[in-house]
A and B are shown apart, each in its own frame.
Chain A
């Protein structure tokens, strides 16, 4: 059923990769960049009225055991920036003897800064082991809108994600103090044991895609009613506390979830940042 043998899922070779992209946004747009393969940054012209835009990608065509990649985003005081990923990221099977894949996202938003982190789906192939960590340091009067989505298995190919590991952690600090921590820890042995099992009460159930969207800003609570409408029951929900607005989904259909996530980003970026209700072009082409 797999056209490519497990150990060759990434055709560019099996050497372990350690990549880093760093981008800083200043008063006049992009103020600093650094790139180490396989991480790359592209800077397409942003449409009029948009924040300066950076597109993050990995040139390896996906990640596998032992790979470590990081994206660091700095928004300087008073500046603004949008970073999106170029496409869905593929997390290939990790061989038992290889280390887990490590993906790190660090966002730093200075006083009065405004930042969007718009991650497209991370697609977890059967047998992958991913440890992902998003850390944000925001100033008290800044605004950060961040979204990430996990897709469990390649459903279109009839693949379920029953074996592997995903540890997906968020840490948000405001003015240096931790205000929100969260982590998903799903694992399975391929034979029904573990928390990937759809049978566990109040667990994954039929969910094949999970999304987390967070807005941190002084006005977060004011947008709770909007957020509730954007992430409706039964597969979505919203809450607000401590200057944060949190939207979450656990949905059976990744494509339908993508549509809801995009609609929610559009509505929230308009509400909180006064931006046009549209996604960066890469999301729709």
Chain B
């Protein structure tokens, strides 16, 4: 398929990411499934696609996750994360992006998915990795919802995590969470899950580069089928996941 070939060709251009040791540890901790923000309870509509037979194999799972991160909700998050990191020092500009990210939600359940994880992320990072920028933001923000991507961006910028590393980390974590959901839902063997992650890791490079180059004026999704998956998840007869 044409798109796969392009992705593979672009993946040949491998970039080097520079990270200090402390920043590496922050990023690993903030993208780990052990971070207590409840990521394991969300499938971003994948449960619908498994239920109706569209996702049956690890290759199908790669197709679903690729759609999320290259032109669905994960893509929107990646673009907004980079834009937010660039203006993290500017309260007005950052808060406008935080508003945009919190509002840029396709459905009731994907809104819950991002905002509940955003609230939990902010709470746990304020405790374990405190920083004045996070405290000031939490006070300004009050009860208004937070997207996971922009509080992640603020924490990353405050603690000196490189932008490229942060985007890669966020996309990797999003992918790993959905692969884990897919392994449980289909179900797939643990090795199949890692085959999916290995393939997705090859695709994340060009997606992260494109997200960092995407102007806000071009931000948008191209995944109507994913949105309908999420809508239809609300009425699935049995559900393991909250989205």
A interface with B by C-beta (< 8 Å): 131, 167-169, 171-172, 177-186, 192-193, 195, 197, 199-205, 207, 210, 228, 233-242, 246, 248, 250
Contact = CB atoms under 8 A, between A and B. Distances in A.
B64 A237 contact: no
Contact of B49 (A185, A200, A202, A203): A202
A68 to B, nearest CB: 15
Contact of B63 (A179, A181, A202, A239): A202
Contact of A228 (B104, B219, B225, B235): B235
B60 to A, nearest CB: 8
B234 interface: yes
A203 B228 contact: no
B103 A167 contact: no
B31 to A, nearest CB: 24
B1 interface: yes
Contacts of A228: 235
Nearest to B100: A181
25 contacts: A181-B100, A181-B104, A182-B106, A184-B222, A184-B224, A185-B219, A185-B220, A185-B221, A185-B222, A193-B2, A197-B3, A200-B222, A201-B60, A201-B67, A202-B225, A202-B226, A203-B224, A228-B235, A237-B228, A237-B231, A237-B232, A239-B108, A239-B230, A248-B228, A248-B231
A174 to B, nearest CB: 10
Contacts of B109: 239
Nearest to A231: B231
B21 interface: no
Contacts, number: 113
Nearest to B45: A202
A179 B220 contact: no
Contacts of A178: 99-100, 102-103
B32 interface: no
Interface of chain A: mostly helix, strand, loop or mixed: strand
Contacts of A235: 228
B100 A201 contact: no
Contacts of B225: 202-205, 250
A137 to B, nearest CB: 14
Contacts of A180: 103, 105
A241 B130 CA distance: 32
Interface string B197-228: 00000000000000000000111111111111
Interface residues on B, range: 35 or more
B221 A233 contact: no
Contacts of B217: 131, 167
A203 B106 CA distance: 15
Contacts of A169: 220
A241 B108 contact: yes
A207 B224 contact: yes
Nearest to B104: A181
A182 B104 contact: yes
B222 A203 contact: yes
B229 interface: yes
Given A201-B67, A202-B229, A239 B222 contact: no
Given A182-B104, A185-B221, A202-B223, A234 B3 contact: no
Contact of A239 (B1, B107, B221): B107
A164 to B, nearest CB: 13
B220 A248 contact: no
A213 B218 CA distance: 22
B148 interface: no
A193 B9 CA distance: 14
A203 B70 CA distance: 11
B47 interface: no
B66 interface: yes
Contacts of B105: 180, 241
Contact of B227 (A181, A199, A201, A248): A248
Nearest to B102: A178
B237 to A, nearest CB: 13
A241 B54 CA distance: 27
Looking at B3, B72, B104, the one whose CB has the most chain A CB atoms below 10 A away is: B3
B113 to A, nearest CB: 12
A165 B37 CA distance: 38
